[in-house]
């Protein structure tokens, strides 16, 4: 039978997950709000 308590104690997260999380949070992505701001700047400037 599997001892879940022991398995949880032995668990170590994958380094790949930590690296991916850092890359996602540190990346400045363009979202819908950024696009709308750019569109408003373009239309108000004309």
pLDDT in tens, 3-43: 999 999 999 877 687 777 777 777 777 788 889 999 999 99
How is residue 7 written in tokens? 């398995």
pLDDT for 46: 58
Q: The tokens 């022991």 sit on which residue?
A: 6
Q: How many Å apart are CA 44 and CA 3, to the nearest integer?
A: 65
How is residue 37 written in tokens? 């701001």
């Amino acid at each position: 039978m599997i001892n879940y308590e022991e398995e949880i104690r032995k668990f170590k997260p994958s380094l790949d997950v930590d690296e991916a999380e850092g890359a996602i949070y540190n990346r400045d992505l363009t979202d819908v709000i950024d696009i709308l701001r750019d569109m408003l700047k373009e239309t108000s400037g004309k």
